[in-house]
């Protein structure tokens, strides 16, 4: 059983989602948004860092997953996004958590079944898969999807690893 904190970083709104994964069973624990608005960039980064540190202290996740940087059309926006990601990653690293990164395409593929899904499809599937009474806010839904993607990827790795040395076709398969 692992508690996973997923983060969808943003320079104005950073989504977070906390789930508990045990085998294929995933349980919703919490989600929301860290809203930093129009404050100076240094204060935004500090707020993201401290807010995530508080969440880590409260939920004690064993795993931390975050969305990889994508190439934005606006270089200034891409730099700000990178800074927000950095604040989130350092918050996790300071707590001793390994950081797992997934592309938006991987996340959408894991949760919706197609890498080109739009935000509303991700929200809907997160609501359905976690049996939520209503759709989470878009950034929180993305963060939950990132956490779920990590849970699925971790399970896939465990299945492959546990398959090493099994007998197939009369021979022992070694890896």
Question: Higher-confidence residue: 79 or 34?
Answer: 34
Please give the DSSP secondary-structure letter assigned to residue 20. Answer: E
Q: In the prediction, which pLDDT does 69 show?
A: 79
- The residues facing 4 across adjacent strands are 19, 63
Catalytic machinery residues: 8, 67, 139
pLDDT at residue 39 tops 50 = yes
Token pair of 144, please?
Answer: 């939950």
Domain enclosing residue 156, as ranges? 2-162
pLDDT at residue 10 tops 50 = yes
Domain count, the chain: 1
Name the percent of the chain lying above pLDDT 90: 77
State the binding site for Mg(2+): 8, 67, 139
Q: Name the pLDDT band for 76 (thresholds 50, 70, 90).
A: confident
Residue 171, domain member (yes or no): no
Residue 119, domain member (yes or no): yes
Residue 128, domain member (yes or no): yes
* Alpha helices in 69-137, H assignment, sequence order: 75-94, 104-111, 119-129
Question: Average of pLDDT values for 70-93?
Answer: 89
Residue 28, domain member (yes or no): yes
Number of Cα atoms under 13 Å in the Cβ half of residue 144: 30
* Cα–Cα distance list, 142 to 117, 159, 160 (Å): 12, 26, 27
Residue 167, domain member (yes or no): no
* Cα–Cα distance list, 62 to 128, 143, 173 (Å): 25, 16, 32
CA 155 to the chain's CA centroid: 15
Residue 81, domain member (yes or no): yes
pLDDT at residue 167 tops 80 = no
Q: In the prediction, which pLDDT does 72 show?
A: 62
Q: What is the pLDDT of residues 41-64, one digit of tens each?
A: 999 999 999 999 999 999 999 999
Residue 105, domain member (yes or no): yes
pTM of the model: 0.88
Residue 134, domain member (yes or no): yes
Domain of residue 91, CATH code = 3.30.420.10
């Amino acid at each position: 059983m692992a508690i996973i904190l997923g983060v969808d970083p943003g320079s104005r709104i950073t989504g977070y989602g906390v789930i508990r994964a045990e085998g294929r069973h995933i349980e919703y624990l919490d989600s929301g948004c860290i809203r930093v608005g129009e404050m100076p960039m240094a204060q935004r980064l500090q707020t993201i860092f401290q807010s995530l540190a508080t969440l880590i202290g409260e939920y004690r996740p064993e795993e931390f997953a975050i969305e990889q940087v994508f190439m934005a059309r606006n270089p200034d926006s891409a730099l700000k996004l990178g800074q927000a990601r950095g604040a989130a990653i350092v918050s996790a690293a300071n707590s001793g958590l390994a950081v797992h990164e997934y592309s938006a395409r991987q996340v959408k593929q894991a949760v919706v079944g197609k890498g080109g899904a739009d935000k509303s499809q991700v929200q809907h599937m997160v609501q359905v898969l976690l049996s939520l009474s209503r759709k989470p806010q878009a950034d929180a839904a993305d963060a939950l999807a990132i956490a779920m993607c990590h849970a699925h990827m971790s399970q896939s790795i465990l299945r492959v690893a546990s398959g090493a040395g099994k007998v197939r076709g009369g021979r022992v398969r070694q890896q």
